[in-house]
Structure 1
Amino acid sequence: MSLKPLVLPPAQPRQLPSGEPSGDTLVRRAPSSRPHPHLNVPAPWPQVRADLRLWIVLGDLAAVLVPVWALLLLGRADTALAVGVAGGGQVVLVWSMGGLGPGAVDHGRVPSGRLALCALLTCPVSLLAAQTLGAPRRACLLLLALQALLVLAGRVLEGSWLYRRRLEGHALRRTLVVMGPGAEPMMYQLRRFPGDGLMVVGYLSSGVGDSYDRPADPVRSAQHVASLVADERIDVVMTVGSVTPGDLLNIMRGLEGTPVRLLVAPGLQDVEPERMEGVPVTHGWTGVVAVRTRRTRALGKAVFDRVAGTLLTVLAAPVIGLAALAVRLDSPGPAFYRQVRVGRGGEPFTLWKLRSMYVDADARRAALVSVGGDAGNEVLFKDRADPRITRVGHWIRRLSIDELPQLINVVTGEMSLVGPRPALPEEVAAYETEARRRLLVKPGLTGLWQVSGRSDLSWESTVALDRHYVENQGGGMDVRILARTVQAVLGGRGAY
C-alpha cells in the first residue's frame, strides 16, 4: 500500500498551496487552498502556546487564592495564610514536575497523577503551617484537597477548550512530517485525529525508495532541515515510521537553537506511554515495553471490581427495581433477561439484563435479518429501528439502565466494571485471530467501545478499541473510561 497525499479535515485552515515546488523547499506539500485575505487568520502557534501557558498559570494560582480569599472574608487570617502557603507550595511542586511542560500545554493533558502526588507531598507542609500559625489542621488539609480539585478542574477545562478549538481549525501546529518505511498506519491515524492539533504542511522522506507514488524529498543535511523549518515557519517536526539514525541525527541538529518540537512516532500500535520505560544502551537509549500485566495490578483490579461492584449494586437497586416494575407493566413477560455470554478464556456465563424487548425477540431475529434489518456490522447485530424493542425498552437502552443488573456478574467475578463487550457464542465463533484477543480479559460493564460511539462503530473499530484496552489495561485507563462512561450515557450516542 503506497502513501497517498494527506487530506486534512476541512476545518484546518491556512494550508500551503499544493504542487511540486523547486529548489531547497518541500518536495511534497499537503494539498490545500490559501484562505481569503479578508478572513480571520488563526494566531500562530507560538502566540497561542504562550497564551495557554499563561492561562494555566493563572488558573492554578486562582485555585490557590479562591479559598484564601474566602477565609479572609470570614476573618480567618491565620488559616488563610497557612492554606496559602501549602497551596502555593503544591502548585509550585506541580510546575516543577512538568505541570507546565509540552504534555500539559501543547497537548492539553491533565496531570492528575502528578497533582495527587503533589497534594500528598504537601500535606506535611500544610500541617506544619497550621501548627506554626495556630490554624485548625483538619481544615487546612481539607482546603488543601479543595485547592487540588480546583487545579484539576481548571486543567480539565483548559484541555477541553484546546481540543474543541483544534477541531474548529485553531491552535494548530505547523508540522513537517518525515516519513520512513512503515509510515502508512501512523499517517492514517494522523488523519483520523485532528484534535491532536497537527497541521501538516509538507513531507520529507527517509530510507524510502520508489515505493510511494509521489516520493518526497529526502533529508539531505542538518542545514537542509534548518532551512525548511525557518522558511515554512514549522512548529513541529514529526518522524513517522523507521526513520534512519543518520536522518534523525540531522533533524535534531537542524532543530538546535529553535523552539521547534520533535515528535518521534516509531509506529508502535496499542502501546500507552505508561507501558514504556527508557533505558540506556551504548551511546544512546532504547525503550522497554511491558508486555505482561503485573500481578499486583490484576489483583488490585479484581478487588476494586468486587468492592465497587457491591457498592454500585446497592446504590442502583432502587433504579433497577423501578425499571423492572416499568418493564412488567409495559409488556408481558419477566422483568429480567438472562443470556449465555462468553467470558475470559472462552468460558461461558449467564449474563443478567433488564428485558428491553418482547419475549419472542430471539425467535424474530432471523426474520429481521433476512429482510435487511441489521444496521450493525459484520459480526454484531444492531438495528436503529428494531421493532422488537418495547416502549420502556427504548428508554432504558437510551440511558443504559438495562445493563445495571450486570453488576451482579461483576460482584460474582464473571465480569469486570471495565473491559470488552461480553460476546455471544455465535459472535465468538465468527472471530478472527485479532478479535479473539478480546477474550484474554474479563468482559466489562463498560469499555472503550462504549465510550467511543457504541453501536455506531464498525466491527473493525470495535475490535481495535477492545484490542487497545487488552494491550494497555490498567488502573489509569479504567478510571478514564469510567469517567467518560457518564458522558456517553448522558449523550446517548450509539445507544439502540
Structure 2
Amino acid sequence: MRTDLVIWLVLSDLSAVALPAWLATFIVGPWQAWPVAAIGLLATLISWFLGSLGMDPVEQGALSTGRLVSAAVIATPAALLLGGALPGPSITGTGMVAALALQTTLALIGRMVESGWLRRRRMEGHGLRRTLVVMGSGAQPMLTQLRRHPVDGFLIVGYLSSGEDRSVRTAAAVRDPEHIATTVRSERIDSVMTVGSVLPDDLVTIMRGLEGTSVRLIVAPGLQDVVPSRMRGLSVTHGWTGLIAVQTRRTRALGKAIFDRIVGFLILTAASPVLALTALAVRLDSPGPAFYTQTRVGLEGEHFTMWKFRSMHIDSDARRREVVTSGGDAGNEVMFKDRRDPRITRVGRIIRRLSIDELPQLFNVVLGDMSLVGPRPALPHEVEQYDDEALRRLLVKPGMTGLWQVSGRSDLSWASTVALDRHYVENRGGALDAQIFLSTLRAVIGGKGAY
C-alpha cells in the first residue's frame, strides 16, 4: 500500500511539473520552454528533500502544504535569474514565477485527491496497518479513540501489556526481544504502538525486538488534543523528553484579532451583492424582517447580539417548545436540531443548505464579537448546561466556521461537538485556522449537517 501511495504522489508531482511546461511551449515554443520544466523539477526535488514524501504525507494523508510552498519559495530566485538571463524569445522572470505558482497549486490538488482517496479506502477497511498494541496504565481511553478513527489507518490485531496495571487482563506481558520479534513475524505486524504509561524497560525491550525489521514503533502516551506543532524534543538525562506549549502567545492572539477584522471587512465588502439579494429574497418569501438577531455567549461568557439572515417564520421562538416536545434529531442533547423543522421557510432551507444565512455574522467579526474561525457561538441556555470541559469553549471567541462546521455540524453528537471545540481551543493557531478554512468550502458544498 505504501509503495502504491508513493508512486501516486511521485507521478502527481511530476504531472504538476509537466503541465506548466506544456503550456509554455505554446507561448514561446518547445526549445525556449525548457527552463520552466527545469525550475519545476528543482522545486519538486526540494519538496521531496523537505519531506513531502515522508511518513505523514504518505501514510497519514497529510497535504504537505508547507513543504510544497517552501520549495516554491526556495526555487523562486533561480526562476527569476533564469527567466531574465535567457537570450531571444523566452519566458520572463514573472512568467517563470507564475508557472511555479501553477505547479504548486496543481501539486496541492493532486495531494488533496490522494488524501481523500486514502480516507475513503480506510473507511472501507482497506489500506490499514496491522498493529500490535502494547498497553500501559491509562491505555483504555486512547484505545477507544483509535477504534473511532479508522482513517488513521491502524488495524489492531493483538495486545501485550506492560506493568501490573493491565487494561486487558488476558493480554500477555512483554517478556523479551525474542518474544517481540516472534510475535511480529507470526502476525505480520506493520506497526507496534505503545499506549499509555508503558514501562521504560519494556519500551527498550520492544525496540530491541524490532531491530532489523521494517516495523514502525509508535509511542502514544495518551495525550489528547495536543498537535505535533505544540511539542518539541528536549535532551534530558541522555534521553528524550517532550516540551509542550501550554499557553498561546499574546502576539499570536493579537495577530488573529487584527487578521479577523481586516479580512472580515474585505469579505463583507465582496459579499455585499449576495447579502443584498438574500435580504430581498427573505423579505419576499415570508412576512418579517430580513435579519434575525439573537443573544449568544462569547469570549469569557460575555453576551453579544449575533446577526443572521432570518430562515424561519417570525413566530419561530414562540413555537420552539412545541417543536422540541415533538422531538428533533437524536444524538445531541444540548443543541436542539430538527432537519424537518416546520418553522423553516422555503428560502430559509436554501440559505441554510448553502450556509448563506450565516454571512451577516461578518458584522460581528468586524465588531470584534466573533472570529472567522472558532467554536460555535452558544446560546445562554446551552451554556447553563455546560460542564467544566464544555466551558473551555468560552476561552476563545466563537467563530463563523470551525471544526464543528467542517466535521458534520448538526449531525454531530454533543460529546463530539465538545471534543472538537476543545481540540480547537487547545491547539488554536494559524496552521489550524488555515486547515479549517480550506475544509469549510468543501463542507458548504457538500451540505452535510446543514439544516
Give the TM-score category using the shorter length: over 0.9
Matching of residues 93-492 of structure 1 within 5 Å: 93-134=46-87, 135=90, 136-209=92-165, 212=168, 214-373=169-328, 375=330, 377-492=332-447
Between stretches 374-383 and 407-416, larger displacement belongs to: 374-383
Q: Which residue, 18, 35, 38 being the options, matches 1:85?
A: 38
Q: Helix, strand or coil for the counterpart of 1:465? A: helix
Cα separation, partners in 2 of 1:350 and 1:114, compared to 1, 3 Å: same
Structure 1 alignment gaps of length 5 or more? 1-47
Between stretches 374-383 and 244-253, larger displacement belongs to: 374-383
- 1:70 lines up with 2:26 in the alignment: no
Cα-to-partner distance string for 1:156-211 (whole Å, 9 max, x where unaligned): 11222111111222212111111111111111111111111211111111114455
Between stretches 59-68 and 253-262, larger displacement belongs to: 59-68
Aligned to 1:24: none
CA distance in 2, matches of 1:78, 1:320: 51
Q: Helix, strand or coil for the counterpart of 1:203? A: strand
Contact conserved, 1:376 with 1:455, CA < 8 A, in 2?
A: no
CA distance in 2, matches of 1:272, 1:150: 27
How many residue pairs end up in the alignment? 448
**Aligned-residue offset at 1:93:** 1.0
CA distance in 1, matches of 2:357, 2:113: 32
Between stretches 221-230 and 50-59, larger displacement belongs to: 50-59
Between stretches 130-139 and 68-77, larger displacement belongs to: 68-77
Contact conserved, 1:78 with 1:133, CA < 8 A, in 2?
A: no
Contact conserved, 1:172 with 1:197, CA < 8 A, in 2?
A: yes
CA distance in 1, matches of 2:235, 2:211: 22
Aligned to 1:12: none
Between stretches 263-272 and 479-488, larger displacement belongs to: 479-488
Between stretches 479-488 and 368-377, larger displacement belongs to: 368-377
Cα-to-partner distance string for 1:385-439 (whole Å, 9 max, x where unaligned): 2122112111111111111100000111110011111111111122111111111
Contact conserved, 1:418 with 1:481, CA < 8 A, in 2?
A: yes
Instruction: Calculate percent identity across the aligned residue pairs.
Output: 62
Structure 2 alignment gaps of length 5 or more? none
* Larger relative contact order (Cα-Cα within 8 Å, sequence gap ≥ 6): 1
Aligned to 1:51: 4
Cα-to-partner distance string for 1:424-461 (whole Å, 9 max, x where unaligned): 11111221111111110000001111111111111111
CA distance in 1, matches of 2:14, 2:353: 41
**Aligned-residue offset at 1:233:** 1.3
Q: What is the letter of the counterpart of residue 397 of structure 2?
A: K
TM-score by length of 2: 0.96
Q: Could you say what the CA RMSD is over the residues aligned between the two structures, in angstroms?
A: 1.6
**Aligned-residue offset at 1:78:** 5.8
